[in-house]
Amino acid sequence: MIHIPDFAHATTVQIIFCFLAFITVATAFLTIFSRNPIHSAIYLVICFFSIAGHYLLLNAQFLAVVHIIVYSGAIMILFLFTIMLMNLNEQRDVHRPRITRLGAIVSFCLICIVLIAIFINSKPIVGEYDSTGEDFQSIKVLGKILLNEYMVPFEFASILLLVAMIGTVLLSKKEKLNK
Amino acid sequence: MGNILNQIGIENYIFLCVVLFCIGIFGVLYRRNAIIVFMSIEIMLNAVNLLFVAFSTYHQDAQGQVFVFFSMAVAAAEVAVGLAILVSIFRNLGSISIDNLKNLKG
Amino acid sequence: MNVSLILIILLIGAFATYLVGDKLASKVALFFSLAALGCSVVLTNHFLAGESISLINAWITQPKISFALNADGLAIAMLLLTVALTPIIIFSSFGNEYKNAKGFYALILFMAFAMTGTFLAADGLLYYIFWELALIPIYFIALIWGNGDSEERRKAVVKFFIYTLAGSLFMLVAFIYLYQKAGSFLIEDLYKLNLSACEQLWIFLAFFLAYAIKIPIIPFHTWQANVYQKAPTVGTMLLSGIMLKMGLYSVIRWQLPLAPLAAKEYMNIFIALGIAGVIYGSIVALRQKDLKKLLAYSSLAHVGLIAAGTYTLTIDGLRGAVLQMIAHGFVVVGLFFAAEVIFRRFETRNISEMGGIRIQSPKFTSMFLILVLASVALPSTFNFVGEFTVLYSLSQINVWFAVLGGTTIILGAYYMLKMFQHVMLGDKNAKTFADVTINEGISLVVIIAVLIFFGFYPKPITDLITPSLETILNVINKN
Amino acid sequence: MEMDTNLALVLVLAPFLGFLINVFFGKSLGRTVSGIIGTAAVVVSFLVTIFFFNQITLTGKAIQITLFDWIQISNLKINLGFLLDQLSLLWLLFVTGIGSLIHLYSISYMHDDENMHKFFSYLNLFVFFMITLVIGSNLLVLFIGWEGVGLCSYLLIGFWYKNQDYNDAAKKAFIMNRIGDLGLLIGMFILGSMFSTLDYATLKTAIAGAANLNIPLLSLAALCLFIGACGKSAQIPLYTWLPDAMAGPTPVSALIHAATMVTAGIFMVTRLNFVFDLAPDVQTIIAIVGGITSLVAATIGLVQTDIKKVLAYSTVSQLGLMFLALGFGAYEVAVFHVITHAFFKACLFLGSGSVIHGLHGEQDMRKMGGLRSAMPITFWTMLVSSLAISGVPFFSGFFSKDEILLTAFHHNKALYVIGSIASIMTAFYMFRLMFLTFFKDFRGTEEQKHHLHESDGLITFPLMILALLATFGGVISLPGNSWLNEYLAPLFTKVAGEEHHLGTTEYILMGVAVLGGLLGILIAYIKYFKQDNVPESDENITGLAKVLYNKYYVDEAYDVIFVAPVNALSKFFRDYIETGLSALVFGLGKVTNELGFQGKKLQSGSIGLYLFAFVLGLCAIVSYIFLAQ
């Protein structure tokens, strides 16, 4: 039931998927294991790009683009700025005690096993992947759905962003006000 | 146009996302640097997003993508506020190790 | 006219007592308690004439809680016990000076109010509220006006409070469960429930915990002796005379009819527990140095027998238990008061420091002796009627229960007479014992008169309680 | 009927009235007046009893009086009622009769006591309860009296309450009695549940009419009742209180511990003869207990030096003989001996009281002697009574004791031998008492000798009356022509005793008994008159005599076996179990406290830890939801 890719007869798509998946997981790990936060951030960017690749693979162009802009562009820049602002480097990061690390690894394995076990246990009925042939994820369609069905949440999202911005500004400024 | 999942299989996406999610959890537990913890959270969010998109394709339905869109908005807001908090913590404590954040004590 | 009148009188009395100030407080409290007594007697007459003096008012609709007061013979008997003892208790405290007397007497009346409510309540939650309400005044009475080292006292009283409260919470859980089943807290609705044996067992145990601590049945009695010792005598009288009876009364009114199957199934165990209390209490009482503690353990022995009587589930057992409750209420109040009379003169509760009272005050000695004899259930005192009936009912279950329970006759005589000998008899000691005052005499004589009158003629009380006990037995035996 | 009720109430309540008057006004009335009131109250009862007695000898019909319902129990209703039949009237006659005499005696005897009015009030109360005991129409009314006389006994033994030893004796008497009372109660419970009544009359008809009697249960009831009787009538193993009870004033010993209260057990057994008749095993036990008690008490009596203790053990011994008779179903014989015993034992006690009075409180026979000339009336009356108790022919004791031994001979030879030995011993120690007290020279102090005098008329008059009765009391039941047997016949289901034909065997046995009695007297004469022996002082007593003198160490044994363990248990409970339970409750609180304290540490504020907990919790929940099924 676990679909093991048959590399000998792998299609191009499958190869691409495997490649992207490998990059995603590897960079995610590297993000966590890098001593230097800057490196972590760089690896994370690569990770995000690979995820964007997945999106493209799934033919979700709009999301892929948005993802790159928001994550790789905005969020990662924020991260990098913060890191630089704090002047963090390897020396400042003290490793956690061994027991904590061991615990982290154990719980990582545990949750992995649990989640995968659930998935295997659930015996999913994966039939034929039907394709209606309809266009459901082009920018045009998404735009219609977003501005019709999801009008209100959409507006709320914008309010959320606004509030987040004000909050961020306030939080960052508070120190100065106190001085 | 055939469904791309015919070639990859939804299970593989599920596995990938589970692994990614677990890596995120691992990072949260493993590191004490708050910034890295944040990054781990982003990884987890992305794992979920990816799964949404995969299932969106599976169902041939745009809803999942819409949800991902919102979740990105929330993630952006979260990161902005979170980093701002980190910055102010750093200014007060001179460190962003989460071990120093013990004010939650009852 | 209905029984809520008595509650109102007592409550108003409590407030009035508090408002009139320290000087008049005791007199006002006595007045209101006597008013309540008079009112109760009038109401009892109405009841005996066939009028209904019960009351059912909707109170809270969601969840369905009613303000229901049910006055059947049993409740009226307990009501009369409460309102008869309250003035005696208040009157007996006239010889003492209390700081902040207005609060003290107001609390006594408030406690009488809560206890009366407990006896009358016919709605589970209302009953529970009154039940817990009764705990508050005694807590303060014992804590503020008690004797001995204040830190130890605080410890004992807080232990008592938490202990009884913790027990009661299980009862609340049981009530909530019953409410889920019946959709009402009204006692009639609860009686109609048909619960499975397993449910009944749990409910029985939940109630048992609450009552076993209150009564107390061993091994839940550890609060008792300490609190009796530390509380002011008035508090001890309220506790031992009336409040213990709340637990015993509740066994009859709530526990047995609500969980009859469990009661029948485990009858022997609970009777055995009661009887174990009799023997244990008597034996521990033998070697007590403190007069009040000795009386506390004797009380433990007596209520053990009463509890055993109630768990026999026979009409004799229940009737004997109720008679014994009333008799014990009077006699124990009398004995504690006698201990207080001695304390007023000797300033000690230590038995070994007493003695030689008989030479100085033969009158007091006679009264004390009568109380002692009533306590050991000499025939022709009220206690004998109750004890005989209870022991008879026990013998119907198993003769050995009667034999073991009957050891109270021997052991009771042993520790009470030993105590009497060392407290009263012997040659004059250094301390002077002034003769009893008229006030003290009146309290004691009233109690003795009640004990002896009903010892020969318990028929009025028997006739009053029997029909309602039969009704309860019918509920118990409905399955 | 109305008249009867009123008179019966007078009979019961006259002593009670006397009690009330003496309690409330005794002090202000003065000693003599309070004594007279007390005596008059009992005399009134006595007169009423004579009236009823006449009535019943004429009509032969028992009078049943019901006053009101008393205790209501599901299957039995208990009235407060009286039953005046042959047995109760007979008992009342000597209770009130001897009671009156002893009251009269006490006026003089107690005259110097500051609490005389109290003494009389207690005596009156005792008579009241004794009458209630006898007159009650059911077992529970009997029980009122039963416990009531126990109470009065307690009060009177401890009359001189300043002495804690006396109080101990009083307490002991009460508690020992209560052990018996528990037996009686249990017996009542069994009878009540078997026959749904405790009323004598209905009980009798119920037992007679019962088809399938549960004999083992009935036997158990009888045994329990007998335990009750043991307590009150001082039988083994509950007899030890009676000798100690001599701590009370002498009239009390005479009234309560010789003539009336201790016979209550015999009264009860006789009253319930229809129950005991159906339980032959229990009857055997009664006979054996009675026989052994009579022997054991007699042996102890042999060496006692306290004049009242001798009489006390003699009482226990005589009561044992009565139970011996009861055990053989010879109720009328036992009743006969109760009556004669009441006469001569009351006389003996009062006589000893007179001696003690004359010696200003001296009770040790070793310090008496030669009182014959100083106290002639006391001497003669006591001599007559001693002859009666020793079974010298034609005194009252001869007839009654002889009948008991005859009955025993017919049923059980071993018990006959035991009874006979006890009788010989009785004769010996009684005359030992007489010789030591009244003959030879006075052994007391000079001062006492100087004050020696005969007691006044109020003391000697009752003595003389009782001596007369002790001499001629036997006429009520002469062998072969027994008025008593006929009088009591309606009470018994069996043919009143097997009329012993006075054959050769009987005459031989009679002769043996007489010879035995004379032998006892002779030994006493040789030992204490001829050889002039005086019992050794306490520390010189050795060997068997020491064991006897210390009453077989029964008291000590009881202390070790019962009292000490109970006290130790009490101490153990108080010091360990109580504190343990208390600690348990506190422990619960402490555990809660500690849990909270430890739990507080978990809330360290460390986010890392929280996250761990979060992840593990997530694992647990997810796996519970998805994997548990």
C475 to chain D, closest Cα gap in Å:
18
pLDDT digits (tens, 9 = 90+) for D114-172: 888 888 888 889 889 998 888 888 888 888 888 888 888 888 888 888 888 888 888 88
Per-residue burial over C390-418, b = 16 or more CB atoms within 10 Å of its CB, e = otherwise: bbbbbbbbebebbbbbbbbbbbbbbbbbb
**Which chains are adjacent to chain C, needing at least 3 Cβ pairs under 8 Å?**
D
Asked if residues C349 and C292 have their Cβ atoms less than 8 Å apart, the reply is: yes
Does a structural domain hold residue C57? no
**pLDDT level of residue A89 (50, 70, 90 thresholds):** low
B29 to chain A, closest Cα gap in Å:
5
Is the per-residue pLDDT at A161 higher than 70? yes
Which of B:35-94 have CB within 8 Å of D? none
Asked if residues D336 and D402 have their Cβ atoms less than 8 Å apart, the reply is: no
Asked if residues D395 and D387 have their Cβ atoms less than 8 Å apart, the reply is: yes
The secondary element (H helix, E strand) that includes residue B7 is helix B5-8
Alpha carbon separation from D455 to C266, D35, D114, D310, D459 (Å, rounded):
69, 18, 20, 22, 6
* pLDDT (mean) for D551-556: 78
D585 to chain A, closest Cα gap in Å:
39
Does a structural domain hold residue B18? yes
Residue of D605, D608, D612 lying closest to B105 (CB–CB): D605
CB neighbour list of residue C320: distance below 8 Å, 6 or more residues apart: C309, C386, C387, C388, C389, C390, C391, C392, C393
**pLDDT level of residue A133 (50, 70, 90 thresholds):** low
**Which chains are adjacent to chain A, needing at least 3 Cβ pairs under 8 Å?**
B, D
CB neighbour list of residue A152: distance below 8 Å, 6 or more residues apart: none
Asked if residues D183 and D235 have their Cβ atoms less than 8 Å apart, the reply is: no
Residue D444 Ramachandran class (φ > 0 left, ψ -120 to 50 alpha, else beta): beta
* Average pLDDT of the residues of chain A: 81
DSSP-derived letter for residue C447 is H
Residue to substitute from D13, D118, D572, D578, interface C, most C β-carbons within 10 A: D578
pLDDT digits (tens, 9 = 90+) for D177-229: 888 888 988 998 888 888 888 888 888 888 888 777 788 888 888 888 898 88
DSSP code string of D244-256 = HGGGS-HHHHHII
Q: What is the CATH number of the domain that holds B50?
A: 1.10.287.3510
* Average pLDDT of the residues of chain B: 84
Which of D:541-580 have CB within 8 Å of C? 566-567, 569-571, 573-574, 577-578
DSSP code string of D332-373 = HHHHHHHHHHHHHHHHHHHHHHHHHHHTTS--BGGG---HHH
Residue of D600, D605, D608 lying closest to B103 (CB–CB): D605
Q: Which domain holds residue C383?
A: 266-479
Residue of C285, C410, C414 lying closest to D182 (CB–CB): C410
- Residue among D139, D150, D218, D219 at smallest CA distance from D184: D139
Asked if residues D123 and D72 have their Cβ atoms less than 8 Å apart, the reply is: no
Nearest-Cα residue of chain A relative to residue D608: A100
**pLDDT level of residue A90 (50, 70, 90 thresholds):** low
Does a structural domain hold residue C253? no
Does a structural domain hold residue B2? no
- Say whether C70 sits in a helix, a strand or coil: coil
pLDDT digits (tens, 9 = 90+) for B7-51: 777 888 888 998 899 899 888 888 888 888 889 999 999 999 999
Do the Cβ atoms of C379 and D146 come within 8 Å?
A: yes
Question: How many residues belong to chain D?
Answer: 629
Alpha carbon separation from D375 to A13, D107, D116, D352 (Å, rounded):
142, 19, 25, 11
Do the Cβ atoms of D608 and A100 come within 8 Å?
A: yes
Nearest-Cα residue of chain A relative to residue B63: A145
**pLDDT level of residue A178 (50, 70, 90 thresholds):** low
CB neighbour list of residue C178: distance below 8 Å, 6 or more residues apart: C124, C185, C190, C193, C203, C258
Can you name the residues that pair with C134 across neighbouring β-strands? none
First to last CA, chain A: 63
- Does A162 reach chain B within 8 Å, measured CB to CB? no
A18 token code pair: 């495997």
Burial bucket for residue A152 (CB in 10 Å: 0-12, 13-18, 19+): exposed
Confidence at residue D497, expressed as pLDDT on a 0 to 100 scale: 47
CB neighbour list of residue C261: distance below 8 Å, 6 or more residues apart: C195, C197, C200, C201, C479
ipTM of predicted complex: 0.75
D490 token code pair: 């309606």
Asked if residues C96 and C136 have their Cβ atoms less than 8 Å apart, the reply is: no
* pLDDT (mean) for D438-455: 76
Is the per-residue pLDDT at D612 higher than 80? yes
| Least confident stretch, D71-75, D172-176, D284-288 | D71-75
Rounded Cα gap, residues D552 and D544, in angstroms: 9
Residue of D608, D612, D623 lying closest to A114 (CB–CB): D623
Q: Which domain holds residue B40?
A: 9-98
Does a structural domain hold residue C378? yes
Confidence at residue B51, expressed as pLDDT on a 0 to 100 scale: 92
Do the Cβ atoms of D603 and B102 come within 8 Å?
A: no
Alpha carbon separation from B26 to B21, B37, C350, D383, D612 (Å, rounded):
9, 9, 71, 115, 10
Residue C49 Ramachandran class (φ > 0 left, ψ -120 to 50 alpha, else beta): alpha
Which of B:45-74 have CB within 8 Å of A? 46, 49-50, 53-54, 56-58, 60-63, 65-66, 68-70, 72-74
Letter for the amino acid at D259?
A
The structural domain count of chain C equals 1
Confidence at residue B104, expressed as pLDDT on a 0 to 100 scale: 63
Rounded Cα gap, residues A38 and D481, in angstroms: 135
Confidence at residue D496, expressed as pLDDT on a 0 to 100 scale: 45
Residue to substitute from D606, D612, D626, interface B, most B β-carbons within 10 A: D606
Confidence at residue A130, expressed as pLDDT on a 0 to 100 scale: 66
Asked if residues D237 and D273 have their Cβ atoms less than 8 Å apart, the reply is: no
Sign of CA dihedral D389, D395, D397, D403: positive
Residue C371 Ramachandran class (φ > 0 left, ψ -120 to 50 alpha, else beta): alpha
The CATH number of A1-94, from 1.20.120.1200, 3.40.50.300, 1.20.1250.20, 3.40.50.2000, is: 1.20.120.1200
Confidence at residue B1, expressed as pLDDT on a 0 to 100 scale: 45
Domain ranges of chain D: 279-549, 558-627
Do the Cβ atoms of B104 and D607 come within 8 Å?
A: yes
Does a structural domain hold residue B28? yes
Count of beta carbons in the 10 Å neighbourhood of residue D9: 15
Do the Cβ atoms of D69 and C222 come within 8 Å?
A: no
pLDDT digits (tens, 9 = 90+) for D359-414: 777 777 777 777 777 788 888 888 888 888 888 778 888 888 888 888 888 888 88
The structural domain count of chain B equals 1
Does a structural domain hold residue C193? no
C306 token code pair: 């009463």
Confidence at residue D297, expressed as pLDDT on a 0 to 100 scale: 87
Q: Do chains C and A touch (3 or more CB pairs under 8 A)?
A: no
- Does A117 reach chain B within 8 Å, measured CB to CB? no
Low-confidence ranges of chain C (pLDDT < 70): 430, 479
Alpha carbon separation from D407 to D269, D295, D297 (Å, rounded):
17, 17, 21
Is the per-residue pLDDT at A1 higher than 60? no
pLDDT digits (tens, 9 = 90+) for B87-104: 888 888 777 777 777 766
Measured at the CA of A133, the angle between CA A130 and CA A136, to 5 degrees, comes to: 100
First to last CA, chain C: 36
Count of beta carbons in the 10 Å neighbourhood of residue D476: 18
Alpha carbon separation from C329 to C90, C306, C335, D472 (Å, rounded):
15, 12, 10, 56
Do the Cβ atoms of C222 and D581 come within 8 Å?
A: yes
Among chain D, residues having any CB pair with chain B shorter than 8 Å are: 600, 603-608, 610-612, 615
Half-sphere exposure in the Cβ direction for C38 (13 Å, CA): 7
- Does B24 reach chain A within 8 Å, measured CB to CB? yes
- Residue among D464, D473, D255, D470 at smallest CA distance from D379: D464
Rounded Cα gap, residues C442 and C34, in angstroms: 15
- Does D591 reach chain C within 8 Å, measured CB to CB? no
Which ranges of C425-478 does DSSP label H, i.e. alpha helix?
438-456, 459-476
Asked if residues D150 and D177 have their Cβ atoms less than 8 Å apart, the reply is: yes
Do the Cβ atoms of D148 and C378 come within 8 Å?
A: yes
Count of beta carbons in the 10 Å neighbourhood of residue D106: 29
The secondary element (H helix, E strand) that includes residue C318 is helix C315-346
| Residue with more model confidence, A60 or A136 | A60
Confidence at residue D115, expressed as pLDDT on a 0 to 100 scale: 81
* Chain A residues in contact with B10 (beta carbon < 8 A): 124, 126, 129
DSSP-derived letter for residue C22 is T
**pLDDT level of residue D473 (50, 70, 90 thresholds):** confident
CA Rg value for chain C? 21
Do the Cβ atoms of D623 and A118 come within 8 Å?
A: yes
Half-sphere exposure in the Cβ direction for D507 (13 Å, CA): 3
Does a structural domain hold residue C41? no
